[in-house]
Structure 1
Amino acid sequence: MAAPRTPLPLVLLLVSAALLAAAPLSPAAETGAAAFDVRRHLSTVTRYDVARGSNSVSSAPSMSDECRVIHLNLVARHGTRAPTKKRIKELDRLAVRLKALIDEAKQGPESDSLKKIPSWMKGWESPWKGRVKGGELVSEGEEELYNLAIRVKERFQGLFDEEYHPDVYSIRATQVPRASASAVAFGLGLLSGKGKLGPVKNRAFSVLSESRASDICLRFFDSCETYKEKKGA
């Protein structure tokens, strides 16, 4: 009887636009009390590079020398994006409100409160003023997912030696543009050096998406009524 075949390594990347926490793969250990980092308090989800330096993320458990990794499932959030149209409008309204408050303070009697106004507030305008579109993946977000793929390869050395095939390296993303762009950035890092395209020997690879109406895995928050009911409770 023939010996059983060794299972092929399977890599499944699910890039979702859902608000999934970005768990780093190799956080740097910090000594002493962590200094306050304002970047960890500016959005609903901390950026990849900022989260990697946090000591609040536990490292992966050690693995026995008798074991080897043959399969990897990875669910990752998209990288850093530009503000959405809704946020751009909010920033424009914030600029108008700040200007009104400063003008009001200037018209009153001179006081210490006027002197305490930070200089950056005077004449501040949103960096995205005039933009009518938003939400796209920015260059920092591309680098985050590319570097995430590099760290994955470093941690699971030997798992990606198998020749590329879309059934082996299954990469999926939602139909949200920033999510599919993040999947492409991840794939470029994961498969760099495995092709013949350009000086860095890139290769083409597939990224699959389902329609928003039928995507019950990555967009469960849209299709699962039980989730909606519990979230709204």
Structure 2
Amino acid sequence: MKATYFLANFLITSLSIMVGLSLSKLARPAIPAIAHHFGTKGRYEEVNPHLLDDILFVNKSLVAPPSPDCRAIHMVSVIRHGTRYPTTKNVKKIARLFELVVSHASGSASWLNDIKTWKMWYTEDMDGRLVEKGRDDHRHLAMRLAQSFPTLISEDHLRANRIEFITSSKHRCVDSVKAFQEGLHRLWDVQDMDYKHYVDDSLMRFFDHCERFVESVEKNKTALKEVERFKSSAEMDAVRRKISSRLQIPYSQFTPGNLAFYISGQFV
């Protein structure tokens, strides 16, 4: 699975400026308990639960220099895009799964009624675009990084163009890098500067331009043989049978190549 990123390249001069932040105590977000079972990448809140109580929390002991004589002179951050909608391909798969359950599932369980009365609100035009949570991911990350590395990430360096932002052309990455800069602008109340970034797919999506990767991985049907083994494994077969039993839908409707991955996390 390919991930897309943007790059923040932080350069330092001889200046040493400490930035004081007023940490905001935000209300704990209403996140369903089942949320951590989904998604291919861990949320920042999963890695650092303190962020649920204080979204700008920083454990300064983790970013302290190894010696009092050390000082930060350069920083490169490779940052994945924020939380996004499913891609068009996956929206179509979710829609087919939903229609299958609505049309064929039977039983009196309350959870089944909840599923059948749920409104399928994903639309194909969402196509992996950033959601507001994804923008917040990067606004808040920018503020936390500024607190963690105040000599590298400062208003003076931002205004002097010593902080460079590079992104791929993917809309979710461009929107993420804009949100990151928005976080810095909000932090320092910068109102007289526009956002600035560079698009460089040869760097940020190098795999699209790597002939060896394209030929030996993307066009190679054996490159994902472990995935194929998993789809035909006894474990996957057990999941399909359990789902079939719980929804009372024929086992044959759940093939390992289409719906099983999307439904197993919800009904196992």
TM-score, normalised on structure 2?
0.58
Task: Give yes or no for contact 1:47–1:79 (8 Å, CA) kept in 2.
Answer: no
Structure 1 residue 124 corresponds to structure 2 residue 118: yes
Residue in 2 that maps onto 1:84: 87
Q: Within 2, Cα distance between the matches of 1:222 and 1:96?
A: 35
Q: Within 1, Cα distance between the matches of 2:160 and 2:217?
A: 36
* SS of residue in 2 equivalent to 1:115: coil
Residue in 2 that maps onto 1:205: 195
| 1:150-202 CA distance string (max 9 Å, x none) | 110111122234343575111011111110110011112234455652xxxx6
* Higher fraction of helix: 2
**1:102-181 equivalence runs, <5 A:** 102=105, 105=106, 114-116=107-109, 118=111, 119-128=113-122, 131-161=124-154, 162-165=156-159, 167-181=161-175
Query: Aligned-pair distance for 1:117?
Result: 5.8
**Which of residues 194, 198, 205 in structure 2 aligns to 1:219?**
205
Query: Aligned-pair distance for 1:138?
Result: 1.0
* SS of residue in 2 equivalent to 1:146: helix
**Matched letter for residue 153 of structure 2:** F
**1:11-22 equivalence runs, <5 A:** 18=3
Task: Give unmatched runs, 5+ long, in structure 2.
Answer: 6-32, 51-61, 224-268
Q: Within 2, Cα distance between the matches of 1:86 and 1:230?
A: 20
**Which of residues 168, 179, 182 in structure 1 aligns to 2:176?**
182
Task: Give yes or no for contact 2:85–2:130 (8 Å, CA) kept in 1.
Answer: yes
Q: Within 2, Cα distance between the matches of 1:174 and 1:190?
A: 20
Q: Within 2, Cα distance between the matches of 1:187 and 1:126?
A: 33
When structure 1 is superposed on structure 2, of 158-167 and 219-228 the one drifting more is 158-167
**Matched letter for residue 193 of structure 2:** R
Task: Give unmatched runs, 5+ long, in structure 1.
Answer: 1-16, 21-36, 106-113
TM-score, normalised on structure 1?
0.65
Task: Give yes or no for contact 1:145–1:185 (8 Å, CA) kept in 2.
Answer: yes
Task: Give yes or no for contact 1:48–1:79 (8 Å, CA) kept in 2.
Answer: no
**Matched letter for residue 84 of structure 1:** T
**Matched letter for residue 127 of structure 1:** W
Q: Relative to 1, partners in 2 of residues 1:19 and 1:49: Cα closer, same or farther, differing over 3 Å?
A: farther
Q: Relative to 1, partners in 2 of residues 1:196 and 1:74: Cα closer, same or farther, differing over 3 Å?
A: closer
Number of equivalenced pairs: 178
| 1:67-124 CA distance string (max 9 Å, x none) | 011111000011011222112211211111001223xx3xxxxxxxx23462312333
Query: How well do the aligned residues superpose, as a CA RMSD in angstroms?
Result: 2.8
Percent of residue pairs identical: 26
Q: Relative to 1, partners in 2 of residues 1:185 and 1:195: Cα closer, same or farther, differing over 3 Å?
A: same
